């Protein structure tokens, strides 16, 4: 499973990266950590003619926490998120979800930008981005633009990113301390792709009723997205085990997983329900 032939460049600036992508329309592929790209090339499922390595780009690997929320540079690695002490408070849902990504060695190389661009519906980062209404900043030949997560993920392994665009960073909105949240995932072994995963958060009003519910799916969806009907069912409710079960039943209907030989669509839908039910109970018991 040796890699196919390719040309290799490692530009020093984002503008240079974009230039190479534009000049080789369709034939060039960005390589960051390579943890998703290289396996597909080892199986010769992808055979880009040029690899454009972003390892020399300065400044795209920082984490900034401020009043606008959390800004993750595209080259931020999973281990960087794990080791950032402030993040656990600033965005506990992100940190908890990222704990489930792959394995120790992969976490030292895999990046936020790479994961978003790859857009595997089973991955945690796209799920968090979709759930939290993240906004990506990308650079193309005609300059920068911002893409909302809901517009970014369009299908399995398919995004709104053009062939000549580079992700610079992603912003997650500010996270109130009193927020209720939970993340749950079901995988065959730790680090495996989720057969189903749920990210949920909601705020509570003065009477402990849920509002502003956001529920996102990993693994049991056509692409990374929220479940708006399920969110509507949750909003206005005081969460207890009965409500959790009822809301989970809505999610089971709303989820649109693709079945395969690992697990049928029906099973994945049932997992969504189980995970959401358990997540809501956990979220409700999480006091501020």
Q: Which residues here bind other proteins, judged by CB under 8 A?
A: 1-8, 10, 31, 33-35, 38-39, 42-43, 51, 53, 55, 79, 102-106, 108-109, 186, 188-193, 195, 261-264, 267, 270-271, 274
DSSP category for residue 77: B
Beta carbon nearer to other proteins, 7 or 205:
7
CB of 245 vs other proteins, minimal distance in Å: 11
CB of 273 vs other proteins, minimal distance in Å: 8
CB of 274 vs other proteins, minimal distance in Å: 4
CB of 26 vs other proteins, minimal distance in Å: 19
Beta carbon nearer to other proteins, 44 or 232:
44
Q: Nearest Cα to 62, choosing from 170, 162, 192?
A: 170
Beta carbon nearer to other proteins, 149 or 195:
195
CB of 129 vs other proteins, minimal distance in Å: 23
Q: Nearest Cα to 233, choosing from 213, 216, 255?
A: 213
- For 154-173, give the DSSP string: EETTEES--TT-EEEEEEEP
C-alpha distances in angstroms, 246 versus 146, 216, 255?
37, 17, 15
Q: Which region, left, alpha or beta, applies to residue 70 given φ > 0 means left and ψ of -120 to 50 means alpha?
A: beta
C-alpha distances in angstroms, 288 versus 74, 119, 178, 179, 204?
31, 32, 5, 7, 11
């Amino acid at each position: 499973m040796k890699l196919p032939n390719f040309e290799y460049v490692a530009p020093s600036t984002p503008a240079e990266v974009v230039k190479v992508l534009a000049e080789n329309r369709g034939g060039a592929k960005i390589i960051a950590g390579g943890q998703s790209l290289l396996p597909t090339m080892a199986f010769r499922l992808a055979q880009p003619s040029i690899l454009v390595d972003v390892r020399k780009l300065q400044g795209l690997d920082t984490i900034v926490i401020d009043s606008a929320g959390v800004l993750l540079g595209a080259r931020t690695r999973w281990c960087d998120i794990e080791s950032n002490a402030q993040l656990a408070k600033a965005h506990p849902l992100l940190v908890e979800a990222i704990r489930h990504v792959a394995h120790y060695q992969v976490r030292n190389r895999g990046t936020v930008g790479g994961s978003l661009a790859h857009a595997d519906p089973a991955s945690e980062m796209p799920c968090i981005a979709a759930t939290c209404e993240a906004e990506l900043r990308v650079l193309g030949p005609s300059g920068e633009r911002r893409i909302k997560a809901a517009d970014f993920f369009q299908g399995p392994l398919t995004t709104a990113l053009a062939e000549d665009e580079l992700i610079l960073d992603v912003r997650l909105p500010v996270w109130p301390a009193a927020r209720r949240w939970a993340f749950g995932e079901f995988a065959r072994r730790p680090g495996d792709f989720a057969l189903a995963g749920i990210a949920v958060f909601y705020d509570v009003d003065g009477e402990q009723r849920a509002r502003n519910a956001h529920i996102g799916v990993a693994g049991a969806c056509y692409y990374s997205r929220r479940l708006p009907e399920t969110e509507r069912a949750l909003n206005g409710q005081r969460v207890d085990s009965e409500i959790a079960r009822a809301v989970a039943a809505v999610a089971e209907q709303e989820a649109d997983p693709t079945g395969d030989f690992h697990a049928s669509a029906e099973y994945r839908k049932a997992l969504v329900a189980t995970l959401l039910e358990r997540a809501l109970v956990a979220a409700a018991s999480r006091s501020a």
